[in-house]
């Protein structure tokens, strides 16, 4: 496991760490894809936007503190900042790519399968440059503007790695804002205007994308995976750092409104689509393609981001109301979430096909799915803990002492 922390119940940073664990579990559960009762896709958006805002908030906090020194060298600080971000994710990120490639080569040799039929190898051949250069989230931009068609993602290899590229790019955007707009009052005003502008911009962007010959899925993924389409997350992070909410109890009324707006709209849209298409509600709630109709793609990111923003404002100002987030297991999962996220598909395969697949022959399918999901989460969690102890932590210690010249603890 990652090192057990002494949790301070009065420090909201630990509550956010617990929410990070909740967000990770939402994403994992969505990716597991229960056979019959799929979870609503809006929960997946909740998980991803939580990670967006966690990055935006904590990175902003650190940079605001760093730039309090007016003599700081911006270019030198930028190089160090980017290098630290890359070196933080690089060990596990490239290990996963190597492991998937190793498994693929073994399958080729043992089962005599042609390389073009191996998902991991085919994806590396088509979009490997994006994986190596942390631009994999621009995969669909290439599909839309160059190929004008969707190239299907390989389902159990690299599709989730878009977030690693996204997060690095998002952090660079945050750095540029804070480095070049030193006046905090001005930045706060820009952030408020920026949030409102993003709501409008999403409608304009979808209209423009719709005129380009391509497919709906590629356009949808551009909305989800490109940092410029998620700039309200950056602005919300700045607002959380710069605005004093004065511990107003009205935040909880705002949270209720945001939740109704976010989830009520998502369920109502799914209901309308179900009536319109004749598909079951559980299908229209879950499948990504059904996020698009009835202005869904233009609205869902805005409503989810707003909900997460208000939730974080409540957690930061009233941490005592969210004691459940201090659960040690949630905090631990939050700490291991990067490794768990990157290696999840290795263990999803075990949970879905070995555990749940076999158990369906003996027990009801729903119960088999639940046991398979628990098996997947447990294996992923314990593997990430071992990886942290024997691989990540030693490498990060080496990087800190050799590259950044930090003293050993």
408 occurs within a structural domain:
no
d(CA 46, CA 44): 5
Angle at 303 between CA 298 and CA 305, to 5 degrees: 105
Give the model's pLDDT for residue 152: 81
Helix (H, G, I), strand (E, B) or coil at 278: coil
Structure tokens at 185: 């009052």
User: Which residues of the chain fall short of a pLDDT of 70?
Assistant: 1-5, 35-37, 408-409
4 occurs within a structural domain:
no
Structure tokens at 399: 């990087």
For residues 213 and 148, the answer to whether their CB atoms sit within 8 Å is yes
Domain count, the chain: 1
Give the model's pLDDT for residue 107: 85
Q: What is the pLDDT of residues 261-317, one digit of tens each?
A: 999 999 999 999 999 999 989 889 988 788 899 999 999 999 999 999 999 999 999
3 occurs within a structural domain:
no
pTM for this predicted structure: 0.94
Which of 207, 220, 97, 208 has its CA nearest to residue 150?
A: 220
d(CA 137, CA 34): 26
Give the model's pLDDT for residue 175: 97
7 occurs within a structural domain:
no
Q: Where are the alpha helices (DSSP H) in 264-388?
A: 265-277, 281-286, 296-317, 328-335, 337-342, 344-349, 357-359, 365-387
Give the model's pLDDT for residue 154: 77
Per-residue b or e along 341-354, where b marks 16 or more CB atoms closer than 10 Å to that residue's CB: bbbbbbbbebbbee
Domain that holds residue 107: 12-402
51 occurs within a structural domain:
yes
218 occurs within a structural domain:
yes
Which of 27, 86, 82 has its CA nearest to residue 52?
A: 27
Give the model's pLDDT for residue 384: 97
409 occurs within a structural domain:
no
5 occurs within a structural domain:
no
């Amino acid at each position: 496991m990652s090192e057990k922390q002494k949790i301070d119940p009065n420090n909201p940073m630990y509550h956010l760490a617990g929410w990070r664990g909740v967000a990770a579990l939402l994403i994992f559960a969505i990716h597991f894809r229960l056979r019959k009762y799929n979870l609503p896709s809006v929960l997946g958006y909740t998980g991803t936007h939580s990670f967006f805002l966690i990055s935006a908030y904590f990175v902003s906090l650190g940079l605001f503190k760093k730039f309090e020194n007016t003599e700081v060298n911006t270019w030198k600080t930028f190089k160090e900042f980017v290098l630290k971000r890359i070196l933080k994710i690089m060990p596990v990120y490239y290990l996963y790519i190597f492991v998937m490639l190793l498994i693929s080569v073994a399958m080729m040799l043992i089962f005599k399968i042609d390389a073009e039929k191996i998902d991991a190898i085919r994806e590396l051949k088509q979009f490997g440059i994006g994986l190596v250069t942390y631009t994999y989230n621009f995969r669909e931009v290439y599909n839309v503007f160059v190929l004008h068609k969707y190239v299907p993602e390989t389902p159990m290899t690299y599709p989730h790695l878009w977030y690693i590229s996204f997060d690095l790019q998002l952090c660079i955007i945050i750095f540029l804002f804070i480095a070049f707009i030193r006046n905090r009052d001005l930045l706060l005003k820009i952030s408020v205007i920026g949030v409102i502008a993003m709501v409008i911009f999403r409608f304009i962007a979808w209209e423009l994308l719709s005129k380009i010959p391509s497919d709906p899925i590629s356009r949808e993924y551009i909305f989800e995976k490109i940092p410029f389409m998620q700039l309200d997350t950056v602005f919300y992070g700045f607002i959380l750092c710069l605005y004093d909410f004065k511990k107003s109890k009205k935040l909880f009324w705002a949270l209720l409104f945001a939740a109704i707006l976010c989830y009520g709209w998502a369920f109502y849209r799914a209901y309308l689509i179900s009536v319109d298409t004749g598909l079951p509600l559980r299908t229209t709630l879950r499948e990504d393609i059904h996020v698009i109709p009835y202005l869904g793609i233009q609205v869902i990111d805005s409503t989810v981001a707003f909900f997460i923003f208000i939730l974080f404002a409540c957690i930061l100002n009233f941490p005592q109301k969210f004691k459940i987030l201090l659960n040690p297991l949630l905090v631990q999962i939050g700490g291991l979430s990067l490794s768990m996220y990157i290696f999840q598909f290795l263990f999803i395969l075990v949970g879905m096909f070995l555990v749940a697949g076999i158990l369906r022959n003996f027990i009801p399918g729903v119960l088999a799915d639940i046991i398979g999901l628990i098996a997947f989460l447990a294996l992923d969690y314990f593997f990430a803990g071992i990886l942290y102890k024997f691989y990540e932590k030693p490498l990060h210690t080496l990087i800190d002492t050799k590259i950044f010249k930090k003293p050993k603890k």
